[in-house]
Structure 1
């Protein structure tokens, strides 16, 4: 991902008001982001833990999506898979994120949801910088293939949020 300034990040959100985007908290340590190894920005708001954000490149532009996290409840399932990075986690480490659709559809209350890593740390799992608490099935895909799959999955989700 190319380097970005805080103002550019705040202006790129497609599914929230300008006022909401202006007030959102940037990821902790934003100023020291290692842009060369950042595939996308994904973070939860430390002041409002149910609020989360995704920012990723789309062509020459950045697009931001505001998300709302629904924390997992205890249930019969013990493990779950992130729809973005396809990493298996304990159920409590994957949450349902709902994003208001962009434009009039979102103002009418329509949302798009997906299950993803609770902290949106997908890049760390794919790159092997973080290890989930549960054993992972074997995989023969290369790092480049896994990164492309992750970014493709995130892109499909963003497409669904942006479509009219």
Structure 2
């Protein structure tokens, strides 16, 4: 992912109005982000636990989405994140919704998906690689590429309205 400034991040949001943009808080380690190792950028609001943000490439430019985590926790023993496709304990995967962009969002349209509760999908696909003696680097690369494609597809769905 290309490096983003704070202004780039704020300008990227496709489903946020001025009031919501005032609530955006970047992660504390934002100045230290290693952009060369990110396929998309996602974080939870440090002070508002129910808010999250995801920025992925769309048509060659960064497109950001404001996310809201569902209240409560899952009763499932385990769940799979729809972005990184990793199995997690149920309480570590949350339903996130995003208001659609444009007129569809103004009319209340939204889209939701299950994502790692801490939005660390870009790290999860890289953890403990390779995971098994028979697993090859290509398998890890496929997981990384898959997470990138699924994050971009989610952003595209928000934009599709």
What is the TM-score normalised by the length of structure 1? 0.88
The yes-or-no answer on 1:160 pairing with 2:150 is: no
Question: How many correspondences in the alignment?
Answer: 158
Q: Which moved more, 1:86-95 or 1:141-150?
A: 141-150
Confirm or deny that 1:151 pairs with 2:148.
yes
Q: Match of 2:49, SS? A: strand
TM-aligned CA deviation for residue 57 of structure 1: 2.0
* 1:78-109 CA distance string (max 9 Å, x none): 00000000000000000000000001111111
Name segments (4+ residues, structure 1) moved above 4 Å.
Answer: 138-141
Residue 73 (1) aligns with residue 73 (2): yes
Q: State the 1:60 CA deviation.
A: 2.8
Aligned Cα root-mean-square deviation (Å):
2.2
Counterpart position of 1:63: 63
Structure 1 stretches of 5 or more lacking a match? none
Q: Which runs of 5+ in 2 are unaligned?
A: none
Distance in 2 of aligned mates of 1:115 and 1:93: 10
Task: State the 1:74 CA deviation.
Answer: 5.0
CA distance in 2, matches of 1:153, 1:53: 15
